[in-house]
Amino acid sequence: MALVSAKEMLENARDGHYAVPAININNLEWTKAVLSTAQAMNSPIMVAVSEGAGKYMTGYKTIVGMVKGMIEELNITVPVALHLDHGSYEGAKAALAAGFTSVMYDGSHLDLEANLAQTRDIVAIAHAQGASVEAEVGSIGGEEDGIIGSGELADPAECKTMADTGIDFLAAGIGNIHGKYPENWAGLSFETLEAIKAATGNIPLVLHGGSGIDEAQIKKAISLGVSKINVNTELQLVFAAATRDFIIAGKDLEGKNYDPRKLLAPGYDAMVATVKEKIEVFGSANKA
């Protein structure tokens, strides 16, 4: 199946009261784990790439080629959207030019008028080629590619103004953060989420920082209109832990386990298990 826009899959998720996982990839192992697990679970999936990961993997054209090639070679038939996560203005345009089918333009660090103006530009470019657009209002907490947010609560009125730019789905701060959640984290503000939903109507909503939020809060957020949930840190943590255990146990010294295909296998398996868990919790299994 060819890459698709995320618009229809997220509208289906909104109407079906589940959420599509948006899993960040960092290399071939990440990509294979995400795509193969989504296929096995019959789940629509968003393969997300941060600008930093994009540079690490040598650029957007390389990523488009890898993802398209893997879809063909693995016979992936579930809907797959290739999505730029927290893109800059120039980054979003470059990703679209390379063949991404969805982008997030993150102008949340700008004043609202500048954010709106640049978002409209990205919407026009993306929609002209059938790609979808996500935008953000309010700062998501934690750190993403060097941008640090305090986890503020978005203003529902500003969310409505942003939704009116023609974006396809909206990320808004409701107390969520990127990275590990601290022990004293207050939890998601469902009051804020309900107000944003009331203000913006039917636009699918996005929850960033999906790693580490407990299942009960995830499911309540989905019931209130969240249709896309981002996951990155959790896969990084399980990959690192499994790889560390393999090496500390000395298994890399056995036979030809120094071969990177064997050395990285435990981390790959851990990621597969985590993606499977997210698909189950988000309710997207058998929704392709």
SS3 label, residue 200: helix
Within 10 A of 236 (CB to CB), how many other CB atoms are there? Answer: 17
Calpha distance 208→85 (Å, rounded): 10
Token pair, residue 174, equals 């409701």
End-to-end Cα distance, the chain: 12
Q: Cα angle at 83 between 79 and 86, to 5 degrees?
A: 155
Q: Which own/partner pairs from 230-233 qualify as long-range (CB within 8 Å, at least 24 positions apart)? A: 230/22, 230/24, 230/48, 230/85, 230/206, 231/21, 231/22, 231/23, 231/24, 231/274, 231/278, 232/23, 232/24, 232/48, 232/50, 232/85, 232/178, 233/178, 233/179, 233/180
Calpha distance 99→19 (Å, rounded): 24
- Give the DSSP H/E element, type plus range, for residue 83: strand 80-87
Residue 269 known to be catalytic: no
Q: Which of 15, 85, 145, 259 is catalytic?
A: 85
Query: For the stretch 140-159, what's the b/e string if a residue is b when 16 or more beta carbons lie within 10 angstroms of its beta carbon?
Result: bbbebbeeebebbbbbbebb
Which positions are annotated as active-site residues?
Answer: 85
